[in-house]
Structure 1
């Protein structure tokens, strides 16, 4: 069904060759289109509910991207981080869901270095531009709740991958 300036209309192509095109046939076609649209609307509602339930994953990933960007774009923060971690922060191209997992797995590997960086005396004495961003980074990196969510995303995803290999 589509809506135009002239009102609603049904859009569907059906090969009716050989069928009797009476009021019953047309009514059944219209009923099928309406039923299809109702099912589509239900799927949209279900997809929106699923999105609302799982949107926190996107938020955690967004936090990780902000943290990485902050460290990479502030020389002193990067120098402090490099003193605590032999591993590098790296950028993962946002291609598919796997890029989120790759980034979060790297964060989990360097968790202690990230935390040491934000609670170090050196960082405390350094006043960088954008203290709001610096406080956001520190708040996330010292939050057990944030790290629990990171671990949950990784563990859940890896368990699904293991099940798919069976």
Structure 2
């Protein structure tokens, strides 16, 4: 069985920049951590704490099938300034998350990268907003960390 990860991450890196809210907001989308900071960015496969992409390979006893259970960490970061910066950053981050969620719903097999098993889905997310004085001096930031998961069967 070949891993689904290379083709699945290629799919995300190719399709996410084409999403209308991503294009309209000039979001920097990167496969891995971006080489340059941006006020609006999406990083696929990494988090600031260098969390790894998790893969577990298991075997089903009766069918002798091999399964690849994958969890891919991702993050959306939006920074805004002005008197409504907190709300603007939050709205901007969730507009991007909603677009990514719709992409995942529209093609849960990521262009054929994931063979029958469990289709791709966002399994968890957490939001973090500007929380300290140092950050507040740089504008308001909203980060949404989310995890994409699927099971690939070979």
Q: Same fold (TM over 0.5)?
A: no
TM-score by length of 1: 0.30
Structure number with greater Rg is 1
Give the structure with the larger strand fraction.
Answer: 2
Give the structure with the larger helix fraction.
Answer: 1
